[in-house]
Amino acid sequence: MPVTTIGLDADDTLWHNETIFRLTQRRFQELLAPFADEALIEERLAEVEQRNLALYGYGAKGFTLSMLETALELSRACVPATVVEEILAAGREMMRHPVEPLPGVTEALETLAERARLILITKGDLFHQEAKLAASGLGDHFSGVEIVSDKRADTYRRIFARHGAGADQSLMAGNSVRSDILPALEAGSYAALIPYPLVWAHEAAEVPTGHPRFTELASLAELSAWLENLA
């Protein structure tokens, strides 16, 4: 059965994202050095992030709030106002960071758009994700954009039914096994893992090796050829 709709993740699939978070986390650890060592700061921040996902969702804004909460906890509410200002500034810098497509992405989207309908499916803050897409210059390649609070099997079923012929004739491509691959396969679609060098611990999961509808590719540029062989 041919693939008529292709869903594509945004962060770390089309442009850099985790790298920016890692650089900001390093800056945060330096600011909190008077109160705790790096390992404890990293551990506590991860715990606070996980706890806050249900409230703040994914993205730079929620991450900034989690950094502030972690700073207050580790300093026992004694963190200087100057450090709070630095944390807020780091969050603003994340929001304003330039967006450039990863190497080969523009050309890959042009090729894929000739083969199937492209739908951007991404998690995160609505305003920030829309701004990043606009800054990337990639928006014209997509027939639809879906910014969701989380990616589950039902999410993909609804999106692929709304924008195409259903999950069984669709494919999801992205860098996260947890969000882009496993729930898409559960929904009944094909799934292509495009690994990124850095993986947020929350997105880590076991690769479903051997699944008949799954493939792992070195880059997005290889997806069109894989679809050709599939057809």
CA gap 42, 70 in Å, rounded = 10
pLDDT at residue 1 tops 70? no
The shares of helix, strand and coil residues in the chain, as percent rounded to the nearest 5, are 55, 15, 30
Predicted pLDDT of residue 39: 96
Cα–chain-centroid distance for residue 109? Answer: 18
* Mean residue pLDDT across the chain: 95
Assign 136 a pLDDT band (cuts: 50, 70, 90): very high
- Ordered by start, the domain boundaries in the chain are 5-15+100-230, 18-96
Q: Say whether domain 5-15+100-230 belongs to CATH 1.10.10.1150.
A: no
Q: What is the pLDDT of residues 166-209, one digit of tens each?
A: 999 999 999 999 999 999 999 999 999 999 999 888 888 999 99
Predicted pLDDT of residue 204: 85
pLDDT at residue 231 tops 80? no
Tokens for 27, please give them.
């800056």
Q: What is the pLDDT of residues 60-96, one digit of tens each?
A: 999 999 999 999 999 999 999 999 999 999 999 999 9
Q: Do domains 5-15+100-230 and 18-96 have the same CATH topology?
A: no
CA gap 42, 19 in Å, rounded = 16
CA gap 36, 40 in Å, rounded = 6
Assign 230 a pLDDT band (cuts: 50, 70, 90): confident
In this prediction, residues 216-227 reach a mean pLDDT of: 97
- One of 1.10.3720.10, 1.10.10.10, 1.10.150.240, 3.20.20.70 is the CATH number of 18-96, namely 1.10.150.240
Tokens for 164, please give them.
């195409």
Query: Residue 57: left (phi > 0), alpha (psi -120 to 50), or beta?
Result: left
Q: Model's pTM, two decimal places?
A: 0.92
CA gap 57, 62 in Å, rounded = 6
Closest CA to 138 of 167, 156, 113: 113
Could you tell me how many helices (H) and strands (E) the chain has, helices first?
A: 9, 6
CA gap 120, 142 in Å, rounded = 7
